[in-house]
Structure 1
Amino acid sequence: MSSIIEPNQTGAPFTVGIALDGAGWHPAAWRDGSARPDELFSAAYWEQLVGIAEAAGADYVTFADELRVQPATGSPAHVDPTVVQGRLDALLTASWIAPRTHRIGLIPTVTTTHTEPFHVATALQTLDHISAGRAGWQLRISADSESAAAFGRRPAPRVDTAAVLAGERDAGLAELVSGAADAAEVARQLWDSWEADAVIRDASTGRYLDRDRVHRINFVGEEFSVVGPSIVPRSPQGQIVVTLLAHATPVYELAARAADVVFVAPEHDARPAGASSGTDVAEIVAEVRAAEAAVDRATLGLPPLRIVADLVVALDTPAEPGAHRIARLDDLAGAPFKSDARVESGPPTHIAETIDRWRAAGIDGVRLRPAALPLDLQLIAAELLPLLRARGLASPETQETVSLRERFGLAPAPNRYERERTAQEVAA
């Protein structure tokens, strides 16, 4: 683990990430006087946002994405004209930004439900190459009929939303989770399908490749079969950091089977928080750790799971308290802001106290969702991150480039085929 990363009480580094989405996480943020709604689909806008986060020393940024126009309700033709509609593709945006940044991790959201796992895996490998080892993946499942209709390949599984929100088991959700686990496993096998020294470039013999170090994966699952190998050579991290957002036990279990980092939403009572609504931070940590303990992650080649808490923030300015900004945006939206994560407003010291308390309860990091962009991101950079750093709740500022795995304190990823080769050589 790099010496620049400050460990927390469990030995893992305590990380601070920034979740980016449009004009901010409040649905009326595009109407705030500080917003730039005419630039939301421009390259310069996203480059500036990520640049602010990188200059401030944030560990990573995530890019929100899904397969439907947001926030669709009812039929695909039903859209809310009062909120921002449409997004740039998260993976393509991250890939464009990668060579324009140097230190910050880049984690696009990519759904697994209707996409081809081979394409997802190779595109993420490409991002890891062009970012020099700073790529991550926020895995997402898509249960809605709008996403299924957009692709037209198969109907969406029937998910009993009421049961899921109540924390009950549901066959439809189980189907989605199983498919996502298979997609993640295919990706991990493809990422290993080239050993690190497969490309030899021996001009004297005319051999560019050692074919014995490139492997077919021959994966067979319930929904798809993938032979492999990947078309992309092994990337700098080997295994790209896999993350996902979880609000219920089945998704905690998916994280335990497939992810390196799980984003959770403690201490929040709104319905969008799903089964985790009203659950305190210690209870969520205990439930995630129980799911992790039920899986032999070492045999799967996975490190201990990192738990990161999501927090929507609206920071005070000299002209307006953050709480007033939320109330003003609520008035513009015509309804109170309902998020799937806790909404915290106030001065940086108040936000830092919540984060410090969560860390003491076993959280390994925090992902901050700015309520309004770029305003709250600028305040995070100028005021909150320096305070967190002073309290040992953020990594020290550095010009050193480290991989995203190092940012999260994850050990270098061994290649399963190299491991098998070594075992065979020892046996012989």
Structure 2
Amino acid sequence: MTTEDRQLKLGAFIMATGHHIAAWRHPDSDADAGHSIDHYRGLAETAERGKFDLVFVADSPAGWDGDKDAETRSRVSHSAHFEPVTLWSALSQVTERIGFVATASTTYEDPYLLARKFASLDHISKGRAAWNVVTTGADVSKNFSIAGHPAHASRYERAEEVVDLVLDLWDSYEDDALIRDKQSGIFLDPDKVHKVNHHGKFFDVAGPLNVARSPQGRPVVVQAGASEPGRELAARTADVIFTANQTLEDAQEFYSDIKGRLAKFGRRPEQLLIMPGIFAVLGGTEKQAQENYEFIQSLVHPTIAWSILKQYYVGVDLSGYSLDDKAPPLPTNTELNKSRLKLVSDLAARGLSLRQLYLSLATARGHRTVVGTPEQVADAIGEWFNGGAADGFNILPPVLPTGLTDFVDQVVPVLQRRGWFRTEYEGATLRENLGLERPVNRFVERAAAPSQRSA
């Protein structure tokens, strides 16, 4: 496929005050952004003005600071924030084209309720909803009355079942099941409503879902895991992958590996989009961009620096180290997010000091960082887009709202002039704008399968 045939896909990955760990201290940030609907409304409208495909907020079924000491907790800005489906339901009413990606955990959420709320969001937004599938690396089991946090392998085994169950539930109703004929008094065709009758290792669910098939057929499925089980789950079920890569070579390997897995699931390469994260620090000149980068890095308090490192050095006593010491190898016998742990381990293996390591993670937790002019940032995007490493990017603004506004006003026009990015939306739904086909109802597809085989 030539460059002319492809268009970049862009997502705005929003973290309240910004992606940098110290963004809330920056003069341009809105410190109370996490609970300001006006703030998020402005971001969604800015992203839509820039013709972005989607906006995305990370989420966890618990606070992200519960395991930290009081001194660290006092300096963390993202401990409390909106629930994303609720937030996106509101913002879908003040936008028209931008898609909304919300995170929900397969480990800690009930699949029937999960399916119901995302199907509802797709109806409310008129076809602009997406589910970011996560298994939840952090132990938040004490909030859910369960025995303990499941091991990595068990989490993915459960995720496989949850995703399949949710996909079936979303297809409980065929597209034309609701007749709504006032003259005849017939509201629906019972033959086109399907119970899932699911009996699995983790769940027994009869169905059907009590929400009709949604405008997109079903919400877009997004996945972020890069471990072996995560890659398999994404290749089989996902429409989009959000990923983190530091180098072109790593990104190309991931892209090639994922695309190469699709055929065994009867899928084509264009049916799964890969969108790495990119943390862009802009400046009118290269020197100004570097100064902007150094300023925000200077806002990281030493307490937060050590807290960042301790997230990955689980069970390792760092009290004998200074920040200028060489980073020791990371432990591997943890149940943390495996793909992110590998990424951080690879950074440490480059011979970085602990200071250099935490500064690399303070920006965007291991996502690629680019510091430069709008043209240089566009160059960096184009290198991966045209080099077999990405179908698009999740933009991680360092500080909000200015980081997103600057990207839309300064970088997007460069991408458009180069012919890489749209100047107008292609459709009304998220699937249409992402260039993804409307999926066939799974029950209809299964019913047709025997005749297709005999033919």
Report the TM-score when normalising by structure 2.
0.80
1:24-72 CA distances to partner (integer Å, 9 max, x unpaired)? 0001101111111134302111101111110111111111111221245
- Identity of matched residues, %: 30
Report what 2:371 is aligned to.
345
Q: Which runs of 5+ in 1 are unaligned?
A: 1-6, 158-171, 269-277
Report what 1:117 is aligned to.
111
- C-alpha distance in 2 between matches for 1:243 and 1:12: 20
Residue 357 in structure 1 maps to residue 357 in structure 2:
no
Q: Taking structure 1 as reference, are residues 8 and 369 closer, same or farther at Cα in structure 2, changes over 3 Å only? A: farther
Q: Taking structure 1 as reference, are residues 341 and 137 closer, same or farther at Cα in structure 2, changes over 3 Å only? A: same
Q: Taking structure 1 as reference, are residues 403 and 8 closer, same or farther at Cα in structure 2, changes over 3 Å only? A: farther
- C-alpha distance in 2 between matches for 1:320 and 1:29: 21
User: Is the contact between residue 113 and residue 141 of structure 1 (CA under 8 Å) also seen in structure 2?
Assistant: yes
User: Is the contact between residue 218 and residue 228 of structure 1 (CA under 8 Å) also seen in structure 2?
Assistant: yes
Picking from 71, 82, 95, the partner of 2:75 is 82
Amino acid at match of 2:443: Y
Picking from 277, 287, 297, the partner of 1:330 is 297
- C-alpha distance in 2 between matches for 1:414 and 1:217: 16
Report what 2:253 is aligned to.
283
Q: Taking structure 1 as reference, are residues 57 and 149 closer, same or farther at Cα in structure 2, changes over 3 Å only? A: same
Q: CA deviation at 1:265?
A: 1.5
Picking from 183, 190, 199, the partner of 1:220 is 199
Further displaced range: 249-258 or 377-386: 249-258
Residue 207 in structure 1 maps to residue 234 in structure 2:
no
Q: CA deviation at 1:209?
A: 1.3
Q: Taking structure 1 as reference, are residues 404 and 139 closer, same or farther at Cα in structure 2, changes over 3 Å only? A: same
User: Is the contact between residue 316 and residue 347 of structure 1 (CA under 8 Å) also seen in structure 2?
Assistant: yes
1:306-342 CA distances to partner (integer Å, 9 max, x unpaired)? 1111111121158983332332222221342502211
User: Is the contact between residue 27 and residue 337 of structure 1 (CA under 8 Å) also seen in structure 2?
Assistant: no
1:130-161 CA distances to partner (integer Å, 9 max, x unpaired)? 1111111111111322x11121223102xxxx
Residue 417 in structure 1 maps to residue 384 in structure 2:
no
Amino acid at match of 2:434: F
Q: CA deviation at 1:243?
A: 0.6
- C-alpha distance in 2 between matches for 1:8 and 1:395: 16
Amino acid at match of 1:150: N
Q: CA deviation at 1:247?
A: 3.4
Picking from 377, 394, 412, the partner of 1:367 is 394
Further displaced range: 412-421 or 174-183: 412-421
- C-alpha distance in 2 between matches for 1:342 and 1:302: 24
User: Is the contact between residue 285 and residue 372 of structure 2 (CA under 8 Å) also seen in structure 1?
Assistant: no
Report what 1:58 is aligned to.
52
Report what 1:149 is aligned to.
142
Residue 392 in structure 1 maps to residue 430 in structure 2:
no
Picking from 265, 268, 275, the partner of 1:296 is 265
Q: Secondary structure at the match of 2:213?
A: coil
Q: Taking structure 1 as reference, are residues 340 and 34 closer, same or farther at Cα in structure 2, changes over 3 Å only? A: same
Matched residue pairs, number?
393
- C-alpha distance in 1 between matches for 2:298 and 2:71: 22
Amino acid at match of 1:413: P
Report what 2:323 is aligned to.
none
Q: Taking structure 1 as reference, are residues 297 and 117 closer, same or farther at Cα in structure 2, changes over 3 Å only? A: farther
Q: Taking structure 1 as reference, are residues 280 and 419 closer, same or farther at Cα in structure 2, changes over 3 Å only? A: closer
User: Is the contact between residue 276 and residue 392 of structure 2 (CA under 8 Å) also seen in structure 1?
Assistant: yes
User: Is the contact between residue 26 and residue 337 of structure 1 (CA under 8 Å) also seen in structure 2?
Assistant: no
Report what 2:311 is aligned to.
none
Q: CA deviation at 1:354?
A: 1.1
Amino acid at match of 1:305: L
Pairwise CA RMSD: 2.6
Q: CA deviation at 1:81?
A: 1.7
Q: Which runs of 5+ in 2 are unaligned?
A: 306-358
